[in-house]
Amino acid sequence: MKHSPEVDNSTKVLRVTSSFRFEAAHFLPQHPGKCKELHGHSYKLEVTIAGEVNESGMVMDFSEIQAIVDESIIQRWDHKLLNDSIDNPTAENIALICVELLRSRNLPLSSIKLWETEDGWVEVSC
């Protein structure tokens, strides 16, 4: 027997997440410690959208989310010096700019998470 979602599932809001990585350099001029020196991170970014399932059974195609994030963020910052485009590129500021860039592409954002290291991340609820 094949399963299909109950009819009222179409009114549920689902959250869909895609994950990305980029390598970038930065320095924090106002930092009292070693982060004021030029160094790099392997950033991990999770982008979560929210919405109802459409007639094709998806909130949004993963490949569509990936294309938008790749064009607006990954191509902009991967292997770049973040200070060239962001004044004070803390993880918090980078995350807030991610939200701005993705909102301008009309992604129905729910939240984003940006890991600067394996152990530390910033989450923005949208």
Q: Which residues are catalytic?
A: 35, 79, 116
Residue in 25, 61, 63, 66 with CA at minimum distance from that of residue 46: 66
How many angstroms separate the CA atoms of 126 and 124, rounded? 6
Torsion of CA 74, 80, 86, 90, to 10 degrees: 80
